[in-house]
Amino acid sequence: MKRLVMLAMIAVVAVVFTGCKKKEPTLAERLSGAAEDAKKAAASAAKDAEKAGADAAKSVDSALNK
């Protein structure tokens, strides 16, 4: 019984020291994430600019037809 309690305590201590480590992102992972975010932002901005250009073209056509 004493041996079982000692084994359980060792297991708890091992889990506390090895299982609770939080994985920190590396610099490469952070830069990669920032690059992906920049790509998404650029694509969104291009889409918005294209839409604004189409709206401006419609406005110009509408003004010329009047």
Q: Please check whether residue 14 lies inside any domain of the structure.
A: no
DSSP characters over 48-62: HHHHHHHHHHHHHHH
Q: What is the Cα 2 distance to its own chain's centre? A: 49
Domain that holds residue 54: 26-66
pLDDT for 37 equals 93
How many domains are contained in the chain? 1
| Distance (Å, whole) CA 13 – CA 6 | 11
Q: Please check whether residue 4 lies inside any domain of the structure.
A: no
Q: Please check whether residue 42 lies inside any domain of the structure.
A: yes
| Distance (Å, whole) CA 56 – CA 59 | 5
pLDDT for 58 equals 87
Cβ partners under 8 Å of residue 25, min gap 6:
33
Please give the model's pTM, rounded to 2 decimal places: 0.53
pLDDT for 21 equals 63
pLDDT in tens, the chain (66 residues): 788 888 888 888 887 777 766 678 888 888 999 999 999 999 999 999 999 999 898 888 888 887
